[in-house]
Amino acid sequence: MMKRKYGLRKLFKPNTIFHFSTSDALLSNVFEGNTTIKEILKHGDFGIGTMNCLDGEMIIVDGKPYTVRTDGKAYEVDDLERSPISVVTHFKKDYSFNICTPIKYSQLIEKINSLLSTQNIFYPIKIIGEFKYITTRSIAKQSKPFKLIEDLIKDAVKFNFTNIQGTVLGFKSPSFIERIGVPGYHFHFIDKERKVGGHLLDFEMVTGRIEYAIARDFHVKLEDSEIYDNIDLSESKNDLLQKIEKL
């Protein structure tokens, strides 16, 4: 593994969000991007996304990037590997609270919602906890010619981990983001030993700590490729996005 430098970190205030490419581009089968992990890490030590050819559910935790493949296992990702979509930030918590009695994912979301002062900004959120169960999924690496995302998502593999400690992290984004990223909550999970994880579907947490931050500074870097330049992005693909995020 290469040594990583974070020299550019000082250029960006904490909780400045960088979105590399867009969900509508991904849903238009732009599964290969030109952005390296090295470039992404300059813009954040915390984040989620996927790797080229949809090779797993990517998560950056404490500055280290992993991808969770369809065996459910987390693999550390090399700096020179590339990603077609990601959203990252240098996370610094503004608020936190503890959970001391078991709580389901939907109940925790309700609780977080009740604490947020506005729906119109972004919130990076980190949940470190002990889970009675946690359900995730991962999408298999694709090869050309690429299937449509609505077809390949049917092959996604689900995992159910029980009595496991780990970190769930991601973002709550405003609804107006729908053609760029995922509106509402989008989380990925990695366990404490950094061995397993995936795109979060559900959990019950026994105890844990929730940290979140206010984020009003949002940057988008559009993909730089011939494929991207030639896709038709004139219509929103949000209906498709809503469908696949829950699978």
Give the shortest CB-48-to-Zn ion separation in angstroms.
6
CA 164 to chain centre: 20
Give the shortest CB-245-to-Zn ion separation in angstroms.
7
Give the shortest CB-177-to-Zn ion separation in angstroms.
14
Output 23 or 28, the one with its CB closest to Zn ion: 23
Length of the chain as a residue count? 247
- The Cβ-side half-sphere exposure at 16, using a 13 Å CA radius, reads 13
Please work out, in degrees rounded to the nearest 5, the angle formed at the alpha carbon of residue 101 by the alpha carbons of 97 and 103.
85
Beta 218-221 vs 17-20: how paired, if at all? parallel
Give the shortest CB-59-to-Zn ion separation in angstroms.
9
- Rounded CA-CA distance 65/56 in Å is 12
Output 82 or 199, the one with its CB closest to Zn ion: 199
DSSP label at 70? T
DSSP label at 238? H
Q: Which of 208, 239, 237, 189 is closest to 102 using CA atoms?
A: 208
Give the shortest CB-80-to-Zn ion separation in angstroms.
23
Output 90 or 199, the one with its CB closest to Zn ion: 199
Output 6 or 65, the one with its CB closest to Zn ion: 65
Output 199 or 237, the one with its CB closest to Zn ion: 199
CA 213 to chain centre: 16
**Which residue's beta carbon is nearest to the bound Zn ion?**
199
Binding site residues, Zn ion, CB under 5 A: 199
